[in-house]
């Protein structure tokens, strides 16, 4: 990646200027991004290693947690390295093609995070409400009926958003007031009407994130009703369901805040950057803790692994 030259057409190259407003806070933001990036890589790699190396962790829920870890590991790799180069070395240039690719992978992996949460909710629904037929519902052929339509939806929605952004003419400015290629941050720089882009972007948020949240909430309401109606203790179900809902609510709040900030005249580029950093890093850093360490079987294996390492060091 090279610094942008002055004579390059703004139709092809852009400057990511999101960190220009933070001034003396650049070192602080750099340290924060570096710490969150390192935590994300370490925590998700550890989670994948533990799940992959223990055969008794190959249950449907643990496999879904492993899928979430793969997504959470991949997402920061799409933006964190270029973000750090921007902060530390002031390398801000990015081509339109590179910008659209980054946008595609960030938004696609974001939709996949939401989808995996929905799959987890279905897993809990079958395990708690239909325990006798749980393995039938979670068998690969049956489960693919839930997986494939949602993945197709994610691909179609994100492809439409990115394709519409790529069809615009960028003839006004070559500065994107952001630290990464977020959809509305790029579309803001286009000349001509962007009403369709804004509408499709808003529909994509509601058709993926909000719809998944409503389906997850509905499944957990049914679970609570089933558990409470049967007179059994619902502590475990309540613990799992509330954990999932909290993660979804926090993530959805960050995403909607970042999206709506482009429609608020008093929002600054600095505040958008701050919100975007957190909504992108929050799942990657905290999902391994919430879904890994708080899952009893996985936590026990992680503690056993660290105890073995400590014992080996003591012996040596």
How many whole angstroms separate alpha carbon 103 and alpha carbon 90? 21
* 29-85 confidence digits (pLDDT tens): 888 889 999 999 999 999 999 998 888 888 888 888 899 999 999 999 999 998 888
pLDDT attached to residue 101: 94
Note down the domain range covering 22: 13-307
Residue 139 is assigned to a structural domain of this protein: yes
Does residue 58 lie within any of the structural domains? yes
The answer to whether the CB of 276 falls within 8 A of the CB of 21 is no
- DSSP letter string over 136-188? HHTSHHHHHHHHHHHHHHHHHHHHHHHHHHHTSB--S-SEESSSS--HHHHHT
141 pLDDT above the threshold of 60: yes
In a domain, 5, yes or no: no
Stretch 306-313: mean pLDDT: 72
The candidate with the shortest Cα–Cα distance to 169, out of 261, 96, 68, 80, is: 96
Query: What is the side-by-side strand order in the sheet with 93-95?
Result: 93-95, 13-16, 175-176
| Residue 3 counted as domain residue | no
Residue 9 pLDDT class (50, 70, 90 cuts): very low
Number of domains in the chain: 1
pTM across the whole model? 0.85
**Complete DSSP assignment for 281-306:** HHHHHHHIIIIIITSHHHHHHHHHHH
Among 55-64, 165-174, 186-195, 223-232, the least confident range: 223-232
List the end-to-end C-alpha distance of the chain, in Å, as a whole number: 45
Distance CA 133, CA 137 (A): 6
Is 2 domain-assigned? no
Q: Hey, is 171 helix, strand or coil?
A: coil
Domain containing residue 131: CATH number = 1.20.1070.10
125 inside domain: yes
């Amino acid at each position: 990646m090279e610094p942008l030259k002055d004579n390059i057409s703004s139709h092809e190259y852009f400057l990511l200027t999101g960190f220009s407003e933070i001034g003396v806070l650049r070192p602080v933001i750099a340290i924060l991004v570096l710490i969150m990036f390192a935590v994300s890589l370490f925590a998700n790699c550890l989670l994948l290693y533990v799940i992959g190396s223990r055969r008794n962790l190959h249950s449907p829920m643990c496999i879904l947690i492993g899928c979430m870890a793969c997504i959470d590991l991949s997402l920061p790799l799409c933006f964190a390295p270029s973000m750090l180069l921007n902060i530390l070395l002031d390398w801000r240039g990015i081509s339109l093609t590179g910008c659209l690719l980054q946008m595609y992978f960030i938004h696609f992996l974001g939709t996949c995070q939401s989808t995996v949460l929905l799959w987890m909710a279905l897993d809990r629904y079958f395990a708690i409400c239909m325990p006798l037929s749980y393995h039938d519902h979670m068998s690969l052929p049956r489960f693919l009926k839930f997986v494939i339509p949602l993945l197709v939806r994610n691909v179609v929605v994100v492809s439409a958003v990115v394709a519409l952004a790529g069809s615009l003419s960028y003839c006004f400015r070559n500065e994107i007031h952001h630290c990464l290629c977020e959809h509305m941050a790029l579309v803001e720089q286009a000349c001509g009407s962007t009403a369709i882009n804004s509408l499709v972007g808003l529909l994509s948020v509601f058709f993926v994130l909000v719809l998944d949240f409503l389906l997850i909430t509905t499944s957990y309401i049914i679970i609570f009703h089933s558990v409470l109606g049967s007179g059994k203790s619902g502590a475990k179900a309540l613990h799992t369901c509330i954990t999932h809902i909290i993660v979804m609510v926090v993530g959805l709040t960050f995403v909607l805040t970042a999206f709506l900030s482009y429609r608020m005249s008093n929002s600054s580029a600095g505040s958008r950057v701050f919100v975007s950093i957190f909504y992108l890093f929050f799942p990657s850093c905290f999902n391994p803790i919430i879904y890994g360490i708080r899952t009893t079987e996985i936590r026990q294996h992680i503690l056993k692994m660290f105890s073995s390492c400590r014992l080996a060091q003591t012996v040596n």
